[in-house]
Structures are given as C-alpha cells and as structure tokens.
Amino acid sequence: MAFAKPSIPSSVADRGALLSVQDLRVEFWTSRGTIHAVNGISFDIAPGETLGIVGESGCGKSVTALALMGILPRAGRASTGTVLFDGRDLLKLSDKEMRDIRGREVAMIFQDPMTSLNPVLTIGRQLRESIETHFDMSKREAEDRAAELLDRVGIPSANQRLRDYPHQFSGGMRQRAMIAMALACKPKVLIADEPTTALDVTIQAQILNLLRELVAEENAALIMITHDLGVVAGMCERVHVMYAGMFMETGTTRQLFAKPRHPYTLGLLQSIPRLDAARKARLHPIEGAPRDMLHTPAACPFQPRCRFEVEASSQEVPPLEEIERGHNVACFNPVPEDEWQNLRKQVVAP
Amino acid sequence: MSIAEAEALELSIDAPGGLWAEAWHKLIRNPGAIIGAILVGGFVLTAIFAPLIAPDDPKAQNLDALNHGQPVGPSAEHWFGIDTLGRDEFSRIVYGTRYSLLIGVVAVVIGLSVGLLLGAIAGYVGGFVDSGIMRCMDVMLAIPGFLLAIGIVAMLGPGLGKIMIAVGVVNIPIFARLLRSSILAQKQNDFVLAAKAVGVRGRSILSAHILPNAISPVIVAATLAMATAIIDVAGLGFLGLGPQDPSTPEWGTMLTDANNYLSIAPFLAIIPGLAIVLSVLGFNLIGDGLRETLDPKLRGR
C-alpha cells in the first residue's frame, strides 16, 4: 500500500519553517527498563504561528518540550531525530552552545507559576537574571528592561513590584511574571507547557489573550502544549494530537474540531462536558488507560481502547498519512467524516 | 481598574519583606530564642571584654590565699572562690569563655565548610560522585562522634588546636548529609528547571537558586552543633586531651582539676559546669528558635 506523505502545512510553506523537528524520539532509563516517552514525532512551525500539541497526561507532551529545550532530566535522552533551528541541529549542540540558545532563541513558560519562581529571590532579580545571562547589560539597564517587561505583561506599578517576592504575587500575576521572564530576550520560539492549567478560568482568559498579543507583536512561533481542547480552539492555527509519544492526527484547528478522523481525537472531543447538552446526556470517557511505555509500539498504540479497530491495527503501526490538504491521520480505519457532527446532534438538547 | 491592578493594590497592603526578613520578624517574637540570644550574647561580651571584667590574672597563683593548702569558697573578694593553686576562679571562668566560644566556633566552621562543600558536590553532581562521598560520610557516622574525636586527637596528639580539628571533623558528615538531602529536595523544584530554561549556568543555579533555599536547615544545625562542640571540647579537655598547659583556663580542664577536690570544694566543679550548661542552653534555644522560623514544614505560605 502506498501512503501519501504527510503534507507540508500551508503556513510553513508560505513563511518557511522556523523550527523543524524530524523523527524525534526520547527515552528514559528507569529501573523498570527503558521508557519510550516520545516515539518519532515530526513537525514544523513558522514564525508568528501557534501550534497546539494536545493529549492526555503522560502522552509525552511535556517531555517533547523539555527535549526541545535540551533540559531533559538526567535519565532522559533524545535518542534519534533532529531539531533544526536557524540551520543548526539543537540536539547536537554542546552544553555551552545550547545555554546560549535557551532563553535567548527558544524560551519556555511552565505549568505551575506557584512553584516556577524562586521563593527567596525578588521578581526583579529573577527577571534580571534571564536578561543578564544573554546580554551584556549593566544592572541599571537590566533593571529598566525588567520593569518594562513587567509593565508589558500588565502588572501595574512595575518599578515597585520588581522588589517584591513571589509570595506577594497572586497566581495570575506570577504567571504574568513567568511570561515576562520567558519574553525577556525576545525569543523566536516560545514553548508554553500548559500555561493556564494551574489558573482559574477568568485568569486563564487574560493570560491567553496576553500570550496571543505578545506572539503577534514579536512574530514569534508559539508551541502550546495543553490537554485543554478549549484553549487549543481559541489559540492555535494548527493542532497535533499526541498519544503514546506519537502524533495520531494533525491538521488545522478547524479541520480537527469539525471533522475529527482519528478515533482518539473523536474520543477527546466526546469527553468534553457541554453546557448545551441535554440534561440526561452522559459524558463519554475514553475507556481504559494509556498504554505502558516500556516498549516502542509495534501496533497502533490506541488499538486496545479503540472501537474502530480493524485487523491491521494490532499488526502494524499506522503511518501518518494525508487524507485532505493539511489534515493527516495515523489510522487504518479513520472515523467517517460526518461522525462527529452526527454524534453532536444527538447530544445537544432539542 | 483591571483585575490585575486590583489584585496588586490588595496585595501591596501590609506586604511583608523577603523570606529572611520574615524569619527575623518571627525570631524576635520567640521568647526561647530571645533568652538564648541573651545567654549567648552575654558569653560573647564576656569573651570580648574579659580583661576588663576579670579582677585578676587567670594564671596568677596566690598560694597565700589558700586555707591551709585548701581552696577557699566564694567570698566578696573572690566571687567564685579560689582554686587549688590560689587562682581567682571568677577570672578563670571569664577567660575560659574565650576558649570555649573560640573552640566551638572554629570547630563548627571547620565542619561546616568541609561538610557544605562535600554535601553540595554530592547533592548537585549526583551519580558516582554522590555515592562515593556519601559512603565515606556513612563510615564516619558509623563511629560514635565522641569516640571518633578521641581517635583523631590520639592520632594528632593533644592540644587546643588539635581538639578543634577533631570536633570539626566529627561534624563534617552531619553537615554534608543535611545539605545533600536538602539540595536533592530543592533540585526537583520547578524554579530550578525554569532557571535552566532561561539558560542560567549550572554553577549559578546551584549558588543562586538551590543553596539559598537549601541552607536554612543547615543554619539551624550549625547553631545546635555549636552547643555540642562546646560539650565535646569540654569532654576532651576533661579527659586530658585539651590544652597541655595546666594553667590554661579552659572549662573542661578546670573540671578535671576540680575532680580531686569534689568533697571539700564542690564549687570548683559546679561553677565551670554551670558555665558549660548555660552556654550550651543558649545555643540550643537559639537553634530551636531558628528551626521554628526556618523549617519549611513549619513555614507558612
């Protein structure tokens, strides 16, 4: 069977890839054996673009982010693959070269602003640190820049707040400060690892708006890692759905939300509670638990939990292939195109 | 006014200072710590101004003052009495403060500096380095501290400097273990990962991010170790491993001298004993106070 190659998304074709990941694999050595956390993922992202990576806990989203930044824990290793940025393979750089890239070219926003700031250092000191690490600036200049950054992320009376400690900031303000730190050196790629998970809903919207504005302003590429499909729908142009360290379905947000073709994507959409659902309507969780990551998948990793499985599912790994322009699915028996629309009609109250 | 502005306003009201400032505020409200500070402060002042406080030379013998060759109890002239060689006991205690504090500080500094270095390396580098260092520390911990100190003095020979080293060495594994475990706990923190993600060098991460967060249990332990060091040094002095010049007014040595006169002049043992107890109590009270304010488990958010 000849498969069509996954297509190049139009955004990347137009603007050129800023960061290009090819066949990235990440392994962890543990006492139980080698954990295969990421199993050959490829993606490109263009400047000014927002790419969403979604999947449930433990599917390898955060590990992907850490691998891109080169800050995997000691037991972890990016075993194969390339991460091309600016003509260089980030995985092959020395520690020192990678340190110059981190924060300067590629920056990251972490999930929990409560624990991601050092409690014994002032906000200003932590902001200055990221500036002084990469630029030859006097303390004065760095201080001014830090105040400017805090002001930019919407923290009032920034000059005074620089002298505050993290515990004097609320959760939302801390995440703003984290964003300011990540943006300190105007990075070209920003990786946001569940930036709003630890925040309450009203603050979430503020933070997402802020991120959107800043990315547009700097023409940076944003990789949005999340398990919240609502966040993806609001923020991202393209979405990659991840399961067991592989991409199951990739496409534009519109394509995935209107016509999910992979059973896993469908399952994720079905498990979102809807406000307009009929009162008696039940939620449809995905049955079973994610697969054990001790072996590289020899078959479709989602097969044991899938109601669309066919014989081939348990025999080989389905390749990611194009089914319409820009929309790729790794499945031997994709969900019918109108399945989700039909299911939705049943759920919504008459 | 935006939500963020409102939050900022609300939070800026009565905002306490940093972690250390907050700890200080709590500490000066802790009665135990205050009593400890007064005791220790008193001993420190005594040590510094010993020549002004002591009425006599602590080494000057005045055999005429003895009562038929026996020590004389406390009197208006000699507050703590005179010892077996006619020396003024009060002056000896006052000068002894210098020895005890100096020995305690030096011993703790030796243990602390070596222990912190080893603990920091073991905790931050990890792997084989960690196992290697910590197994050596375990071996040292397996030998009872005082016995180890006696062993080291036996090796180096007796003397004031030697017992400082001995007591210091005994303290090394305690500090190394403590700092290592504390660093291991802090290393897992998100802010360490966040600092790495910004491109901060490993060395600055250790010194600016991990150590300041990991050091507070060590500060507590160091204060408490001062107390144990004073006892250990007095103990070694009592066993005759301390200063070899018998005229040195060291509290432990003074206890040994008083040993043979316990029945006729118990004050010669009680007074240096009290001095030891009070200084140890002072350091313990301060240490407990520090623990209450710095312990992450007791520290409120």
Question: Looking at the complex, does the CB of residue A96 fall below 8 Å from at least one CB of chain B?
Answer: no
In the stretch 203-262 of chain A, residues with CB closer than 8 A to chain B read: 203, 206
Of the partner residues A111, A134, A161, the one whose CB lies closest to the CB of residue B199: A134
| Inter-residue contact A208 to A138 (CB < 8 Å) | no
For A121-158, give the DSSP string: S-HHHHHHHHHHHHS---HHHHHHHHHHHHHHTT-SSH
**Pick among B12, B191, B293 to test the A interface (most A CBs inside 10 A):** B191
Residue linked to tokens 């394509």: A255
Residues of chain B positioned with their CB less than 8 A from the CB of A151 = none
- pLDDT for A63 equals 92
Q: Cβ of B15 and A168 within 8 Å?
A: yes
Of the partner residues B201, B208, B209, the one whose CB lies closest to the CB of residue A99: B201
- pLDDT for A294 equals 83
Question: Looking at the complex, does the CB of residue A133 fall below 8 Å from at least one CB of chain B?
Answer: yes
- pLDDT for B2 equals 55
Question: Looking at the complex, does the CB of residue B196 fall below 8 Å from at least one CB of chain A?
Answer: yes
Pick the residue with more confidence: A309 or A15?
A: A309
Question: Looking at the complex, does the CB of residue B14 fall below 8 Å from at least one CB of chain A?
Answer: no
Question: Looking at the complex, does the CB of residue A176 fall below 8 Å from at least one CB of chain B?
Answer: yes
Q: Cβ of B4 and A176 within 8 Å?
A: yes
CA distance A163 to chain B (A): 9
- pLDDT for B19 equals 64
Q: Where are the alpha helices (DSSP H) in B199-242?
A: 202-204, 211-214, 216-238
What is chain A's Cα-based Rg?
A: 21
pTM over 0.80: no
Residues of chain A positioned with their CB less than 8 A from the CB of B204 = 129
- pLDDT for B119 equals 92
Q: Report the relative pairing of strands A76-85 and A88-89 from DSSP bridges.
A: antiparallel
**Pick among A100, A111, A129 to test the B interface (most B CBs inside 10 A):** A129
| Inter-residue contact A178 to A113 (CB < 8 Å) | yes
Question: Looking at the complex, does the CB of residue A115 fall below 8 Å from at least one CB of chain B?
Answer: yes
Q: How many CB pairs under 8 A join A and B?
A: 113
pLDDT tens readout for residues A217-242: 888 999 999 988 888 888 899 999 99
Distances B174 to A113, A173, B113 between C-alpha atoms, Å: 34, 40, 12
B47 CB-near residues (< 8 Å, 6+ apart): B97, B98, B101, B102
pLDDT tens readout for residues A74-92: 888 888 899 999 889 999 9
Is the pLDDT confidence value at A156 over 80?
yes
Q: Cβ of B197 and A176 within 8 Å?
A: no
CA dist A158 and A177 (Å) reads 11
CA distance A119 to chain B (A): 8
Of the candidates A45, A62, A9, the residue with the CA atom closest to the CA atom of residue A227: A62
Q: What is the ipTM of this complex?
A: 0.81
N-terminal to C-terminal alpha carbon distance within chain B: 27
Residues of chain B positioned with their CB less than 8 A from the CB of A104 = 199
CA dist B50 and B28 (Å) reads 28
Q: Report the relative pairing of strands A238-243 and A50-54 from DSSP bridges.
A: parallel
- Determine the 3-state secondary structure of A16 from DSSP: coil
Pick the residue with more confidence: A288 or A165?
A: A165
- pLDDT for B152 equals 92
Is the pLDDT confidence value at A2 over 50?
no
Which stretches in chain B have pLDDT values below 50?
A: 1, 10-16, 300-301
Q: Is the dihedral of CA A183, A188, A194, A197 positive or negative?
A: positive
Q: Is the dihedral of CA A172, A177, A178, A179 positive or negative?
A: positive
The alpha carbon torsion through A267, A273, A279, A280 (nearest 10 deg) reads 30
Q: Cβ of B17 and A184 within 8 Å?
A: no
Task: Please compute the mean of the pLDDT values over residues A100-127 and round it to a whole number.
Answer: 89
Distances B252 to A116, B102, B104, B234 between C-alpha atoms, Å: 51, 14, 13, 4
- pLDDT for A204 equals 84
Residues of chain A positioned with their CB less than 8 A from the CB of B185 = none
- pLDDT for B173 equals 93
